Copies of this chain bind each other. A is one copy, B any other.
Amino acid sequence: MTARWLALSGGVGGAKLVLGLADTLPDPRRLTVIANTGDDFEHLGLAICPDLDTLMYTLAGVASPATGWGRADETGTFMQALARLGGETWFHLGDADLATHVERTRRLAAGESLSVATRALAARFGIVAEILPMSDDPVRTVIVTGDRELAFQHYFVRERCEPPVRAIRFEGAAQAKPAPDVLARLADPDLAGIVIAPSNPLISIDPILAVPGLEAAIATAGRPVIAVSPIIGGEALKGPTAKMLRELGAEASVVGIARHYRDLVDGLVIDQVDGALASAVEALGLAVHIAPTVMRTLDDKRTLARAVVGFASTLTRRRD
């Protein structure tokens, strides 16, 4: 059997690296992605799973490169008609995108688990890599701001990440079980390495690690764990990662990322612009690989994926 690889991912940035991995690994069927479901929510009666969808759309080649969310082959007739009816329009749902939510909601209402529904949808999209939600149980990221607790999408989309973050909670995480196959994949003797994709550590990766048993299974898998920094030159390419890190008292730099992950990962991939910080990361006990981490083209994604896999193969699991 060819080696199995496992990736933890949130939305856009993570999905880009996952696409690079699926496109360069010898057998993409042996790539398993554990996806964040902390920003899932119910809206207009629909079960919406933004990170699962971004992963599916990216791997299926239908993601919109312009927006970073939603689909490229999209129209907006539903949303216009809903606005005319006075419906809630703060969360944009394209007409094609709607089909995913309606079909998922139908499957869940019929009694399917989220992982079974996800498998069915991904198969319909022709995706060969395996996408597993971190859990079939609901986990909901809650953003604690100055005086309010905001459901994640209310913070992220409706309030455009503007309220300062004081704390983050993952509601339901303590009661959640890893989705079927998650622990089995981590225990697979053919597992070669675990990649933490360049997603927001606070709201994309931490919810995954908050599912009881999941972080321990990663730590004890005995395979190198590599993170790719979502922070480049002190900023995230997209999204509020840097702002949130600062608001929570952490450093918005590759060093801050290294500190966040130091108990779990063996190595960190950082961008060339952060080369001067490599020794500070190494001082925290992590191996460092310097590579171009901005993924604009498919070639960029493949190149970074190859760099990550190559880096991992030079490492052995040092902890546990």
Residues in chain A within 8 A of chain B (CB atoms): 44-46, 71, 73-75, 77-82, 84-87, 94-100, 102-103, 105-106, 109, 120-121, 124-125
Known interface pairs A45-B45, A109-B45; A103-B77 also in contact (CB < 8 Å): no
Whether A95 contacts B124 in the complex (CB less than 8 A), given A45-B45, A45-B109, A87-B106, comes out as no
**Residues of the B chain whose Cβ atoms lie less than 8 Å from the Cβ of A106:** 44-45, 87
Once bound together, how far apart are the Cα atoms of A71 and B73, in whole Å?
Answer: 22
A242 CA / B80 CA spacing, docked (Å): 39
A-B interface, 3 closest residue pairs, ranked by CB to CB distance from nearest: A81-B99, A77-B95, A81-B96
Give the dominant DSSP class at A's interface.
Answer: helix
8 Å CB contact of A85 from B82, B99, B109: B99
What residues on B are CB-neighbors of A85 within 8 Å? Answer: 99-100, 103, 121, 124-125
Bound Cα distance A251, B100 (Å): 48
A-B CB contact pairs (8 Å), 20 listed: A45-B45, A45-B109, A75-B75, A75-B77, A75-B95, A77-B77, A77-B96, A78-B78, A80-B96, A82-B99, A84-B99, A84-B124, A84-B125, A85-B99, A85-B103, A85-B124, A85-B125, A86-B120, A87-B99, A95-B98
A308 to chain B, nearest CB (A): 31
A77: chain B residues within 8 A (beta carbon): 73-75, 77, 94-96
Complex alpha-carbon distance, A247 and B45, angstroms: 41
Tell me which of A78, A105, A125 has the highest count of chain B C-beta atoms within 10 A of its own C-beta.
A78
Q: A44-B106, A87-B106, A106-B87 are in contact. Are A100 and B75 (CB under 8 A)?
A: no
Complex-state Cα separation, A103 to B94, whole angstroms? 16
Of B45, B95, B125, the residue contacting A95 (CB under 8 A) is: B95
- Closest-by-CB residue of B relative to A110 is B45
Chain B residue contacts of A87, Cβ below 8 A: 99, 102-103, 106
Q: How far is the CA of A16 from the CA of B65 in the complex (A)?
A: 45
CA distance A98 to B95 in the complex (A): 9
Distance in angstroms between the alpha carbons of A129 and B271 in the assembled complex: 64
Instruction: Write out the residue numbers on chain B whose beta carbons fall within 8 Å of the beta carbon of A98.
Output: 78, 81, 95, 98
Q: Cβ of A44 and Cβ of B96 under 8 Å apart?
A: no
Q: How far is the CA of A44 from the CA of B103 in the complex (A)?
A: 7
Q: CA of A82 to CA of B75 in the docked complex: distance in angstroms?
A: 14
- Given A81-B96, A96-B78, A98-B78, CB of A86 within 8 Å of CB of B44: no
Find chain B residues with CB under 8 A from A96 CB. 77-78, 80-81
> Are the CB atoms of B82 and A102 closer together than 8 Å?
yes
